[in-house]
A and B are shown apart, each in its own frame.
Chain A
């Protein structure tokens, strides 16, 4: 290790190499606090060349390495399984180019998502993918997990906005894919890289599509007595051929926390709130908003409020996007799941979540992307008590199993990381997993880059079959 640190200091200088155990604790986990493992060293490169040099040193010494952005992953995507080298991209945070005529920007991976949109403010453009953590998460992290957010319903997820990449391959080679010119035929390898959770290499530059700002918004808040009424309203809205820009649900539990934190004036006795936004041309948005109001009222909405000003609209979105930050008023720890079901199955999964919470004596609140069917049940607990952790994991496991049963998936936007590796056998056949392992092996032959992420090891299915064994990361880290 000493020799390794010397070589890294030669590349980066002493101040960009952390190896003091007290300093490394900060990096022991990401947003998935259930599993922790400290890396052996954390590095802060500032250029692609430095990243490449670091990777080559890791290869020479047969040391695993994992990239990290802001550490907002909720699935253990940044967990340094088995220790090794953590490569933080936070110092590579520049905007390199903006081209409004050709509708693209070139950025470094450590750039905070929201900072790009702020940079574009006033230009008539913005960067569309807007995860709720966008005030902290990085573009590189968004690429790794193919991040979504509330506005994916209309605008798509990260892969729909990535035109090209530069990355350091696990061999240390610097590779460029795509760019501002549209691809003609040829396999879409940029699209394959997005969502690969750091297992294909370390992204060092991203060319993103920038999107015209909508001319107008109408932001509505539907107030419902029951979750069932709210989910039926969602079905009716989509069934009417309306594609809102965003359609989010918040249940009574999360509203309690939000009102305590932000004092918006949310009704505390409502069973569910729907935050619905339509955007587009001024001439069209009123008609769409009226249609949505009528549909909500037809499903029994108590009322449908409209944001009366841009300030009110921004406050509504602040409440939604900072909802997770308000959880602290409810419990010291939380674990959120990221399941997806077909939208028409939302009533079933929400009822199941409520029952699962009762069965395991876990309080669960919900705030999620209802328009996409992407649920985020938030399980409340205290991580100081292992017994509570076990109940949370068991409950989470049941919820994700139910998502699969309803024809959905176990991750809509957070990724598999280490948290959900055990579910991969439930979603995919052994042949599917074999193909994925083949492709990973083709690009990451020595498996040093982000090891033990996303895919179960071949032949391991018998060992990973229940909530007691959903910690391959923890097991491997011991």
Chain B
């Protein structure tokens, strides 16, 4: 395969390993894995001009014992291609991924991507049971296995999830799967204000229903998502959107029950919809803020009870926003008045200030490439910088993998246990 100065497309993990050992390390050439290029703005800006490692050849299904409800696939497979394969057995990887036709499994793993159904289904941490990867030293390694319960050895899958490709390049992933539900449906209710939504959510803690998604939309976001759905939905007030799935009767019962539980909190308008439109909602909610031609989109994580406060802040800043309220995640599109990196910095600071009482932190997920250098940084907690830095030094002592993506604390290079042995 070509070993161009800026791009390399290995045919196998062995070839990647050899390239790292024989070329990258001797030449001290930085490199970074690229998948569908849908999350390049996450985290810090990659410094220098690293060689881009494409995993386009890693798309094969290695093993799919459907009765075991696991699958092993190449990390370069797109999320949509994976979903098509799983659909044939009526199974799913229940993750919501923006731009799923381009986003790759390896990229999703690197960013720990999730969306509205995170509330009911969890994240990749709950589905990755094994993987194969190549570290910054060129070592091919595996972790986990192909069985759904396995505690042998350290689970190296976990630190790779969310590591933005800074610790190793994942080449193959084994996933635990779920059955595809028979039906889904949604209840969409608007309320006079966020205080009313808050009271409804407080009471909803003891709901008889079990939603898969629990979203709150600002009026602006409700309007834009409603237009995407192509159906008439109320959108002149904050919207609480509850998504359900399961048996058809189960979905209907939950919609009716949730409505009866919540409408006396001052609901202004209510609409419910069935499977097709519910799936469309989840897609629209997942894609919110992505490729929006807007300058800046941020993701803020707070304790779930802090979400409404953050939504109010976004409204005051005239930022359209949605919240995965059950998980404390708020996605906000900065207003059109944000026209410079400095404006963007101020917007982020205001979000962080509102989030601070709720142990929150903010991540830039989309921005003008010209601003990336100033805005893109990943506020990783101190302990993660420090302990993660030690793992970084063990797996990538030359610091060639995705430099700048995460600011680890890297002390004076020291040889690892294996290098001393």
Chain A positions within 8 Å of B, measured between CB atoms, are: 99-103, 124, 145-146, 148, 152, 156-157, 159-160, 175-177, 179-192, 194-196, 212, 215, 235, 238-239, 241-243, 280-281, 283-284, 287, 340-344, 369, 372-374, 407-416, 420, 423-424, 427-429, 431-443, 454-455, 458-459
Verify if B125 is at the interface (C-beta below 8 Å from A).
yes
How far does the Cβ of B332 sit from chain A's closest Cβ, in whole Å? 14
Give chain B residues whose Cβ lies under 8 Å from the Cβ of A180. Answer: 303, 359
Residue contact B153 to A443, C-beta cutoff 8 Å: no
Residue contact A416 to B153, C-beta cutoff 8 Å: yes
Inter-chain CA distance A179–B146, complex, in Å, is 29
Verify if B378 is at the interface (C-beta below 8 Å from A).
yes
How far does the Cβ of B179 sit from chain A's closest Cβ, in whole Å? 4
Closest to B385 in A: A186
Verify if B233 is at the interface (C-beta below 8 Å from A).
no
Residue contact B359 to A179, C-beta cutoff 8 Å: yes
Residue contact B159 to A441, C-beta cutoff 8 Å: no
Give chain B residues whose Cβ lies under 8 Å from the Cβ of A416. Answer: 151-153
Inter-chain CA distance A100–B163, complex, in Å, is 30
Residue contact A420 to B152, C-beta cutoff 8 Å: yes
Residue contact B153 to A101, C-beta cutoff 8 Å: no
Residue contact A429 to B141, C-beta cutoff 8 Å: yes
Closest to B39 in A: A185
Residue contact B153 to A281, C-beta cutoff 8 Å: no
Give chain B residues whose Cβ lies under 8 Å from the Cβ of A442. Answer: 387, 390-391, 393-394, 416
Scoring B145, B159, B362, B417 by chain A CB atoms within 10 A of each residue's CB, the highest score goes to B417
| A-B contacts, 29 listed (Cβ < 8 Å) | A101-B304, A101-B305, A102-B328, A156-B126, A159-B125, A180-B303, A181-B302, A181-B361, A182-B301, A185-B163, A185-B378, A187-B160, A187-B384, A189-B387, A189-B388, A191-B155, A194-B158, A195-B154, A340-B149, A344-B65, A373-B147, A407-B146, A407-B147, A412-B149, A415-B151, A424-B153, A432-B141, A435-B394, A443-B390
Chain B positions within 8 Å of A, measured between CB atoms, are: 42-43, 65-70, 90-91, 111-112, 118, 122, 125-126, 135, 139-143, 145-164, 166-167, 178-180, 201-202, 205-206, 208-210, 246-247, 249-250, 253-254, 299, 301-305, 326-329, 358-363, 378, 380-381, 383-384, 387-388, 390-391, 393-395, 406, 416-418, 421
How far does the Cβ of B70 sit from chain A's closest Cβ, in whole Å? 7
Given A159-B158, A192-B158: A175 and B383 interface contact (C-beta under 8 Å): yes
Give chain A residues whose Cβ lies under 8 Å from the Cβ of B140. Answer: 431
Give chain A residues whose Cβ lies under 8 Å from the Cβ of B126. Answer: 156, 160
Residue contact A235 to B391, C-beta cutoff 8 Å: no
How far does the Cβ of A470 sit from chain B's closest Cβ, in whole Å? 15
Residue contact B147 to A412, C-beta cutoff 8 Å: yes
Which residue from B111, B145, B180 sits with its C-beta under 8 Å from A185?
Answer: B111
Given A284-B246, A344-B67: A185 and B148 interface contact (C-beta under 8 Å): no
Inter-chain CA distance A185–B91, complex, in Å, is 27
Give chain A residues whose Cβ lies under 8 Å from the Cβ of B149. Answer: 148, 152, 157, 340, 369, 372-374, 409, 412-413
How far does the Cβ of A166 sit from chain B's closest Cβ, in whole Å? 10
Residue contact A101 to B202, C-beta cutoff 8 Å: yes
Residue contact B387 to A408, C-beta cutoff 8 Å: no
* 4 A-B pairs with least C-beta separation: A191-B158, A241-B179, A441-B417, A442-B390
Give chain A residues whose Cβ lies under 8 Å from the Cβ of B209. Answer: 281
Given A101-B305, A195-B155: A185 and B179 interface contact (C-beta under 8 Å): no
How far does the Cβ of A178 sit from chain B's closest Cβ, in whole Å? 9
Closest to B244 in A: A281
Residue contact B125 to A191, C-beta cutoff 8 Å: yes
Give chain B residues whose Cβ lies under 8 Å from the Cβ of A242. Answer: 179
Inter-chain CA distance A283–B90, complex, in Å, is 22
Give chain B residues whose Cβ lies under 8 Å from the Cβ of A187. Answer: 158-163, 166-167, 384, 388, 391, 406
Closest to B111 in A: A185
Residue contact A188 to B112, C-beta cutoff 8 Å: yes
Give chain A residues whose Cβ lies under 8 Å from the Cβ of B163. Answer: 185-187
Give chain A residues whose Cβ lies under 8 Å from the Cβ of B91. Answer: 241
How far does the Cβ of A448 sit from chain B's closest Cβ, in whole Å? 15
Kindly list 18 other residue pairs between chains A and B, CB separation below 8 angstroms, not including A175-B387, A342-B70, A438-B416.
Answer: A101-B205, A160-B125, A182-B327, A182-B329, A184-B361, A185-B112, A185-B378, A189-B387, A195-B155, A235-B67, A241-B90, A281-B208, A342-B146, A372-B147, A407-B147, A416-B152, A435-B156, A442-B416
Give chain B residues whose Cβ lies under 8 Å from the Cβ of A159. Answer: 125, 155, 158
Given A187-B391, A342-B70: A281 and B154 interface contact (C-beta under 8 Å): no
How far does the Cβ of B292 sit from chain A's closest Cβ, in whole Å? 19
Give chain A residues whose Cβ lies under 8 Å from the Cβ of B154. Answer: 192, 195-196, 436, 439-440, 454
Inter-chain CA distance A348–B223, complex, in Å, is 57
Residue contact A431 to B380, C-beta cutoff 8 Å: no
Inter-chain CA distance A242–B327, complex, in Å, is 26
Give chain B residues whose Cβ lies under 8 Å from the Cβ of A428. Answer: 142, 152-153
Given A342-B70, A407-B147: A188 and B158 interface contact (C-beta under 8 Å): yes
Give chain B residues whose Cβ lies under 8 Å from the Cβ of A436. Answer: 153-154, 156
Give chain A residues whose Cβ lies under 8 Å from the Cβ of B358. Answer: 181
How far does the Cβ of B113 sit from chain A's closest Cβ, in whole Å? 9
Closest to B384 in A: A186
Which residue from A243, A340, A432 sits with its C-beta under 8 Å from B142?
Answer: A432
Closest to A157 in B: B149
Residue contact A284 to B247, C-beta cutoff 8 Å: yes
Give chain B residues whose Cβ lies under 8 Å from the Cβ of A195. Answer: 151, 154-155
Scoring B143, B167, B205, B361 by chain A CB atoms within 10 A of each residue's CB, the highest score goes to B205
Inter-chain CA distance A243–B181, complex, in Å, is 11
Give chain B residues whose Cβ lies under 8 Å from the Cβ of A160. Answer: 122, 125-126
Inter-chain CA distance A417–B358, complex, in Å, is 39
Which residue from B206, B394, B416 sits with its C-beta under 8 Å from A124?
Answer: B206
Inter-chain CA distance A412–B145, complex, in Å, is 11
How far does the Cβ of A428 sit from chain B's closest Cβ, in whole Å? 6
Inter-chain CA distance A436–B139, complex, in Å, is 12
Closest to B252 in A: A283
Inter-chain CA distance A10–B42, complex, in Å, is 50
Inter-chain CA distance A192–B156, complex, in Å, is 7
Give chain A residues whose Cβ lies under 8 Å from the Cβ of B70. Answer: 342
Residue contact A409 to B145, C-beta cutoff 8 Å: yes
Residue contact A435 to B363, C-beta cutoff 8 Å: no
Inter-chain CA distance A68–B181, complex, in Å, is 43
Give chain B residues whose Cβ lies under 8 Å from the Cβ of A183. Answer: 112, 162, 301
